[in-house]
């Protein structure tokens, strides 16, 4: 009878240990899934920013003239959105990051997310119909304030065919 009691204790302990291991595995998977979901949220938010920004630039580009100051949402990991002319010299307040942006951007890119690696999609993008040749600063950076960024766009009457980015 004593051996039966010991075997029951061993079976109970094994069942309890197995249950704890399963609970830990399920919790680990749940935490992993949440982290992946949050990463996907950042990708979607960044992609939506690029899509909306390109749409706003295209609207002004098609107009005879105008000015807009839209507000966009971005993940807070992206501290700044910088416009850069890779064919021009560095100038202005943020010229200290010009070389880093240039090293990490594509050959035709004109928009870079800073700090490098903060975007889950890409470090840079190519925005069509935008004038980076006449930037007041190179790079011209806009700060992300708690997930919101404001960028002023302007299409001059009788001016260039491209939309200007101004501060």
Q: Mind giving me the DSSP string for 14-62? A: HHHHHHHHHHHHHHHHHHHHHHHHHHHHHHHHHHHHHHHHHHHHHHHHH
Closest to 79 measured CA to CA, from 151, 122, 142, 139: 142
pLDDT at 143: 95
DSSP 71: E
Quick one: which H or E segment has residue 2?
helix 2-62
pLDDT classification of 51: cutoffs 50, 70, 90: very high
Question: Within the chain, what is the greatest distance between any pair of CA atoms?
Answer: 101
pLDDT at 3: 54
Instruction: Answer for the pair 116, 123: CB distance below 8 angstroms, yes or no.
Output: yes
- Flag whether pLDDT at 82 surpasses 90: yes
Q: What's the domain count of the chain?
A: 1
Alpha-carbon distance of 92 to 87, in angstroms, equals 16
Range of the domain at 142: 2-166
pLDDT at 11: 58
Instruction: Answer for the pair 108, 127: CB distance below 8 angstroms, yes or no.
Output: no
Comparing 148 with 64, the larger pLDDT belongs to 148
- Flag whether pLDDT at 20 surpasses 60: yes
Instruction: Answer for the pair 109, 86: CB distance below 8 angstroms, yes or no.
Output: yes
- The pLDDT tens digits for 119-167 are 888 889 999 999 998 888 999 999 999 999 999 999 987 656 899 999 8
Q: What's the gap between Cα 164 and its chain centre? A: 22
């Amino acid at each position: 009878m004593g051996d039966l009691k010991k075997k029951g204790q061993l079976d109970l302990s094994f069942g309890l240990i197995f249950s704890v291991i399963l609970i830990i595995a399920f919790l680990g998977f749940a935490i992993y899934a949440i982290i992946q979901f949050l990463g996907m949220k950042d990708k979607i938010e960044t992609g939506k920013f690029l899509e909306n920004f390109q749409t706003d630039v295209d609207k002004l580009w098609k107009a005879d003239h105008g000015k807009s100051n839209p507000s966009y949402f971005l993940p807070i990991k992206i501290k700044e959105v910088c416009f850069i002319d890779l064919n021009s010299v560095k100038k202005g307040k943020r010229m200290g990051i010009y070389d880093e942006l240039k090293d990490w951007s594509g050959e035709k890119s004109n928009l870079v997310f800073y700090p490098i690696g903060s975007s889950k999609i890409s470090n840079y993008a190519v925005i069509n119909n935008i004038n980076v040749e006449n930037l007041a600063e190179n790079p011209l950076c806009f700060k992300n304030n708690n997930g919101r960024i404001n960028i002023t766009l302007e299409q001059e009457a009788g001016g260039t065919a491209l939309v200007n980015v101004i501060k």
